[in-house]
C-alpha cells in the first residue's frame, strides 16, 4: 500500500468565537494559508487577497487567514475585533481564524507542519514576516509558498492556483 503524503486535514484551528474548525472541512479545495496582521505595512494585502478570491471565483479555492502577532507586534487586536477590522477595512469574506503563533517552538501545530520539510515532506519555509503565503493542493498537501512581499494578485500565484484547480484529487 502506498504511504500517504502528510496533509493539513488532521489539524484543527480555532475560530474567533472559540469553536474548533477541522481543516478537513476544506478537503478537495486548493487553499492559500496566510498569516495576517492589522497594523503592518503589508496589511493592504487583505484587500488583494479578497480580490484574488473574487477573481478566481471557484468554489474549490479558499483563502484562510491566520492573524499573528509574531512580527513587530503588528496584530494588537483580538477575536471578533480582528474579523471586524478585516471585513470593514478590507472587504474580507474568506475565513479569518483566531490569533495564533506562527514561528518558534510555540508555533501552532499547523504552522509547524507548513514550515518544516520533515513534517510536510515537501519544503521548509518559516514565515519571515506577516503575509507569508502557503499554497496547499486539493489533497491537503503543501505545494508551494510565497514570501510576504509577493502580492496576492501576482501572476505566479494566480497561475499556480489555476494549475492546482485543474488537477484531479487522488
12-14 and 133-136 as β-strands: parallel, antiparallel, unpaired?
A: unpaired
pTM of the model: 0.96
Residue 2: pLDDT band with limits 50, 70, 90:
very low
30-36 and 20-22 as β-strands: parallel, antiparallel, unpaired?
A: unpaired
- 127 occurs within a structural domain: yes
- 14 occurs within a structural domain: no
Contact (Cβ atoms closer than 8 angstroms) between residue 76 and residue 45: no
Residue 4: pLDDT band with limits 50, 70, 90:
low
Proportion of the chain in helix, strand, coil states, percent, rounded to 5: 30, 20, 50
The whole-chain average pLDDT of the chain stands at 95
86 is catalytic: no
Predicted local distance difference test score (pLDDT) of residue 170: 60
Phi/psi for 123 (5° steps) reads: -160, 160
- 18 occurs within a structural domain: no
* Mean pLDDT within 119-140: 96
What's the total number of domains in the chain?
1
Least confident of 59-63, 73-77, 114-118, 165-169: 165-169
- 87 occurs within a structural domain: yes
Q: 84: domain range?
A: 28-163
Q: Which three cell numbers stand for residue 31?
A: 487553499
- 170 occurs within a structural domain: no
Beta bridge partners of 33: 64, 134
- 2 occurs within a structural domain: no
Predicted local distance difference test score (pLDDT) of residue 168: 74
Number of C-beta neighbours around residue 81 at 10 A: 13
**Per-residue pLDDT for 134 more than 80?**
yes
Catalytically annotated residue among 37, 40, 49, 136: 40
Q: What is d(CA 139, CA 23) in angstroms, rounded to the nearest whole number?
A: 12
Predicted local distance difference test score (pLDDT) of residue 3: 54
**Per-residue pLDDT for 169 more than 80?**
no
111: CATH: 3.40.30.10
- 16 occurs within a structural domain: no
Q: pLDDT tens, 13-55?
A: 999 999 999 999 999 999 999 999 999 999 999 999 999 999 9
- 81 occurs within a structural domain: yes
Q: pLDDT tens, 82-124?
A: 999 999 999 999 999 999 999 999 999 999 999 999 999 999 9
Amino acid at each position: 500500500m502506498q504511504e500517504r503524503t502528510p496533509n493539513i486535514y488532521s489539524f484543527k484551528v480555532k475560530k474567533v468565537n472559540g469553536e474548533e474548525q477541522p481543516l478537513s472541512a476544506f478537503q478537495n479545495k486548493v487553499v492559500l494559508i496566510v498569516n495576517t496582521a492589522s497594523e503592518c505595512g503589508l496589511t493592504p494585502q487583505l484587500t488583494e487577497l479578497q480580490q484574488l478570491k473574487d477573481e478566481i471565483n471557484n468554489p474549490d479555492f479558499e483563502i484562510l487567514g491566520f492573524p499573528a502577532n509574531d512580527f513587530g507586534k503588528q496584530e494588537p487586536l483580538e477575536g471578533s475585533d480582528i474579523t471586524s477590522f478585516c471585513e470593514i477595512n478590507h472587504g474580507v469574506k474568506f475565513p479569518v481564524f483566531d490569533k495564533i503563533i506562527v514561528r518558534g517552538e510555540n508555533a501552532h501545530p499547523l504552522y509547524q507542519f507548513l514550515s518544516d520539510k520533515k513534517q510536510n515532506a515537501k519544503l521548509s519555509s518559516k514565515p519571515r514576516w506577516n503575509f507569508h503565503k502557503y499554497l496547499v493542493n486539493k489533497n491537503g498537501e503543501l505545494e508551494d509558498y510565497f514570501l510576504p512581499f509577493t502580492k496576492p494578485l501576482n501572476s505566479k500565484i494566480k497561475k499556480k492556483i489555476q494549475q492546482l484547480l485543474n488537477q484531479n484529487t487522488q
